[in-house]
Amino acid sequence: MRPRPRLIHLADYGSEYTGSFIPMLIELGEGPRADGFEVTFAFSAEAEHRPWVESLRAAGFECLFLPVDRRAHGKLLPLLLQEASGRFRTPLSSA
């Protein structure tokens, strides 16, 4: 059986308010999930304890939280790959 493709949405978002962004993410993730993708949202570490995270999880989405040095955004992808490598069934390099 072939593993499902994974869509990872990165967002440097840590506001304590849901606003319109979190409902938009849920809607954004529904289409790919219906098409067979596993959808993960990755946020900066400051978002980990925000109340809206539970909304994403309740909707069935995985959330990752990564430390971000805002002076070096180029580090985000390596951090994501490091964080994700142990969590996904298929290595990202072969997905």
HEC states along the chain? CCCCCEEEEEECCCCCCCCCHHHHHHHHHHHHHHCCCEEEEEEEHHHCCCCCHHHHHHCCCEEEEECCCCCCHHHHHHHHHHHHHCCCCCCHHHC
**pLDDT of amino acid 95:** 40
Q: Is the pTM of this model over 0.75?
A: no
pLDDT digits (tens, 9 = 90+) for 33-66: 999 999 999 988 889 999 999 999 999 999 998 8
